[in-house]
């Protein structure tokens, strides 16, 4: 297997494929959405901020890449009906789904467990763990119909190295990695389905600036540096690779 961090994707890597990217309006999700479109995918752009999604839509169209679709769904409040409707919308408008990249993430604040509220934990668990589960479940039929389907979770270093003050965020990301393992095991007999996890590490993103406000953003890798890793996991060269956790090595 080649080093995924150094992967060089052909221009038509994702030609003809449909890829859903959550959290597409900012940070890593924004970079991944652009990379998928650049390499031929019709991208379903998910986020809460409609203005940012529209701007991303316009940027992709201006490059004359495949026309994307927008899915302004708030993962913090969505329920089963909304996820089922989203899957039906993708099927109706685009006819297929070949990949999902879960980049949406939510951290309330770094604080001791004693001061974290139930409401804060609920929001983090809903966005970071329940939403990826629900989206995969609602889209499972579409993924099974694809000849080569890939799901990619985006985790965080504190999922495997928990530390003080990371509380519900670290717990939700640890649950996400466990979810990936369970899903990979359940899909093991279906060669066209695979699921893997990416741990970006420190990158220049809105979430990083929230947890490390005094850090020089210019000293960190950009979200675009992660593109080769995500493209490798979404494209045909990673077929048969499932249940793995990939750590970004700049």
pLDDT tens profile 137-189: 999 999 999 999 999 999 998 888 989 999 999 999 999 999 999 999 999 99
Q: What is the pLDDT of residue 230?
A: 97
Of 57, 83, 169, 232, catalytic: 169
Q: What is the pLDDT of residue 12?
A: 96
Q: What is the pLDDT of residue 214?
A: 66
Supply angle C-alpha 194, 239, 223, rounded to 5. Answer: 75
Q: What is the pLDDT of residues 37-69, one digit of tens each?
A: 999 999 999 999 999 999 999 999 999 999 999
Q: What is the pLDDT of residues 106-129, one digit of tens each?
A: 998 899 999 999 999 999 999 999
195-to-82, 136, 189, 200 alpha-carbon distances in Å: 23, 10, 13, 16
Q: What is the pLDDT of residue 208?
A: 67
**Between residues 225 and 216, the one the model is more confident about:** 225
Q: Average pLDDT of 1-14?
A: 88
Instruction: For the chain, give the mean pLDDT.
Output: 93
Query: 169 catalytic, yes or no?
Result: yes
Domain boundaries, the chain: 4-247
Instruction: Report the distance separating Cα 204 and Cα 230, nearest Å.
Output: 17
Query: pLDDT-based confidence at 222, cuts 50/70/90?
Result: confident
Assign a CATH topology to domain 4-247: Rossmann fold (3.40.50)
SS (H, E, C) 211-244: HCCCCCHHHCCCHHHHHHHHHHHHCHHHCCCCCC
What percent of the chain is modeled with pLDDT above 90?
80
Beta-carbon-side half-sphere exposure of residue 33 (alpha carbons within 13 Å): 34
The residue among 102, 104, 103, 99 whose CA lies nearest residue 41 is 99
- List 196's β-bridge partners, or say none: 152
Q: What is the pLDDT of residue 209?
A: 65
Residues 6+ apart with CB under 8 A from 108: 116, 120, 123, 124, 168, 169
Q: What is the pLDDT of residue 203?
A: 73
- Tell me the three state secondary structure of residue 75: coil
Is residue 18 a contact partner of residue 98, using CB atoms and an 8 Å limit?
yes
Q: What is the pLDDT of residue 5?
A: 84
216-227 burial: b if 16+ Cβ within 10 Å, else e: eeeebbbbebbb
What percent of the chain is modeled with pLDDT above 70?
93
For 30-86, strand residue ranges (E) read: 42-46, 69-71
**Between residues 2 and 24, the one the model is more confident about:** 24
Q: What is the pLDDT of residue 114?
A: 96
Q: Is the pLDDT of residue 240 over 70?
A: yes
Q: What values do phi and psi take at 241, rounded to 5?
A: -95, 115
Q: What is the pLDDT of residue 217?
A: 64
């Amino acid at each position: 297997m080649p080093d995924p961090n150094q992967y060089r994707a052909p221009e038509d890597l994702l030609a003809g494929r449909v890829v859903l990217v959550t959290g597409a309006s900012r940070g890593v999700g924004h970079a991944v959405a652009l990379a998928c479109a650049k390499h031929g995918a019709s991208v379903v752009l998910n986020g809460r901020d409609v203005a940012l999604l529209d701007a991303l839509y316009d940027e992709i169209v201006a490059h004359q890449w495949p026309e994307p679709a927008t899915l302004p769904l708030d993962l913090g409040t969505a329920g089963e009906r909304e996820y089922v409707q989203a899957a039906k919308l993708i099927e109706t408008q685009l006819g297929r789904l070949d990949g999902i990249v879960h980049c949406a993430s939510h951290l309330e604040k770094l604080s001791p467990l004693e001061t974290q509220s139930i409401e804060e934990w609920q929001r983090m668990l809903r966005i970071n763990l329940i939403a990826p589960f629900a989206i995969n479940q609602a889209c499972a039929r579409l993924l099974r119909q694809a000849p080569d389907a890939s799901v990619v979770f985006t985790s965080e270093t504190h999922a495997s190295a928990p530390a003080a003050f990371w509380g519900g965020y670290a717990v939700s990301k640890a649950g996400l990695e466990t979810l990936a393992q369970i899903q990979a095991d359940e899909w093991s007999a279906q060669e066209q389905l695979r699921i893997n996890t990416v741990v970006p590490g420190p990158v220049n993103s809105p979430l990083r600036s929230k947890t490390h406000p005094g850090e020089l953003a210019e000293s960190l890798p950009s979200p675009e540096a992660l593109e080769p890793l995500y493209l490798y996991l979404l494209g045909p060269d990673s077929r048969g690779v499932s249940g793995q956790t990939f750590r970004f090595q700049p």
